[in-house]
Amino acid sequence: MSSAKRILLIIGGGIAAYKCLDLIRRLRERGHHVRVVMTKAAQQFVTPLSVAALTNERVFTDLFDLDDEREIGHIRLARDSDLVIAAPATADLIARMAGGHADDLATAILLATDKSVLVAPAMNPHMWLNPATRRNVEQLKRDGIRFIGPAVGEMAERGEAGPGRLVEVPDLLTAIENHFSSGSENKPLAGRHVIITSGPTHEPIDPVRYIANRSSGKQGCELAMAAAKLGADVTLVSGPVSIADPPGVRVVRVTTAKEMLEAVEAALPADIAIFAAAVADWRVAAPSVSKIKKSASNAPPALSLAENPDILKAIAQRSKGRPALVVGFAAETHDVLVHAKKKLKSKGADWIVANDVSPQTGIMGGDRNTVHLLTSAGVESWPEMTKADVAAKIVERAAKHLASLKRAAAE
């Protein structure tokens, strides 16, 4: 990271609070000044004494502390920092933030602060997926609150697994680093809106079965983070994935191709649209409302398929509100460049990013990628690199392309 920063860490009441001890230690190692506010519930999991020993600072716990409030302490804490982090953020803390509550020191600070707030949720998967929590999270995102996570995995409760784990400390450190670097580096996409689609779509056959593919969403997630790092306002429209939401971007969760198209259209206008999602080409025309059972003859059911909306084509060929740069992905298993060139022409996209996703490549679900960039100028074949590096290179090229369009318009 760059120079030392003042970080206010609000520790919520969850078993994952123990991770905050390591987070504090690592932030201090980087030279940052860390002050901590603990909720009443947080003190049931880690002690203020342990936190104070690591921060070398007093730990704040009480909204009605006479000494602090003589100088309106909660306002001072809210303003005297460069970043406020809430971790672990429980379902209750998120709900109270969304409702604008200020009935303890933590929520009073979160309501009074004029600084950026980064929230790292941690809770039972059923609590995270509950419609009430989803509404609260979406409200906070609309209010400008940034989220990192939750991660997916085993929970403290026996037999429980799913989205709800606090992200690991290195991921938190990366999110903090990205936040502080955003104000000091050149941001060629500042003021630009970028829409990115990611992951697979799930097209229902019946309530328990669906048509899908092996897309992990990793490349789309890396694209979103790369665009945000260059200063863009990013909307990530993601199909069902098991990776954590990237920090600093607006995430819209969808399931089907139809929902993905609707979400993209709702997010317009945009300067750049990158369609990295592996959208199912077909859906079952009439999904069963109940689980399909085997027949007495054991004959397989006949599934009538219908073509899904072509999201790339629909946006690339818009007569009004078309993004200045539309980028599609072509995931192929043979004749990669032949099919990608046809796609570039037929869809009306500006660029196509093509790759070979045959099983032996390990690209589907892996961390590395080998792509070809097709534009009106020809084909560029890039060497194998990480998906993060692929994303950074694509987004940097996109930023330069927008700059060239702006220069051309000014001439």
Point out the residues that are catalytic: 213
Residue 347 in marked binding region: yes
How many whole angstroms from its chain centre is CA 380?
A: 29
Residue 291 in marked binding region: yes
Report residue 327: phi and psi, to 5°: -120, 125
Q: Token digits for 34?
A: 């860390």
- Rounded-to-integer distance, Cα 252 and Cα 265, Å: 12
Return the residue matching tokens 């049931």.
Answer: 44
Report yes or no: 45 and 90 within 8 Å, Cβ to Cβ.
no
Residue 309 in marked binding region: yes
Q: Alpha carbon of 344 to those of 196, 256, 275, 386, 402: distances in Å?
A: 18, 24, 13, 24, 19
Report yes or no: 132 and 179 within 8 Å, Cβ to Cβ.
no
Residue 343 in marked binding region: yes
Q: Alpha carbon of 95 to those of 38, 118, 133, 164, 389: distances in Å?
A: 17, 15, 7, 15, 37
Residue 311 in marked binding region: yes
Strand order from edge to edge, sheet including 325-332:
250-253, 233-238, 193-198, 272-275, 325-332, 351-356, 371-375, 378-381
- Rounded-to-integer distance, Cα 93 and Cα 157, Å: 20
- Rounded-to-integer distance, Cα 335 and Cα 352, Å: 15
Measured torsion, CA atoms of residues 213, 219, 224, 228, in degrees rounded to the nearest 10: 170
Report yes or no: 306 and 280 within 8 Å, Cβ to Cβ.
no
Residue 94 in marked binding region: no
Report which secondary-structure segment, H or E, holds 373. strand 371-375
Report yes or no: 91 and 128 within 8 Å, Cβ to Cβ.
yes
Return the residue matching tokens 């104070």.
Answer: 52
Residues 6+ apart with CB under 8 A from 84: 7, 8, 10, 78, 109, 110, 113, 115, 116, 117, 118
Report yes or no: 175 and 147 within 8 Å, Cβ to Cβ.
no
Q: Which residues are annotated as a binding site for CTP?
A: 281, 291, 309-312, 329, 343, 347
Q: Which residues are annotated as a binding site?
A: 281, 291, 309-312, 329, 343, 347
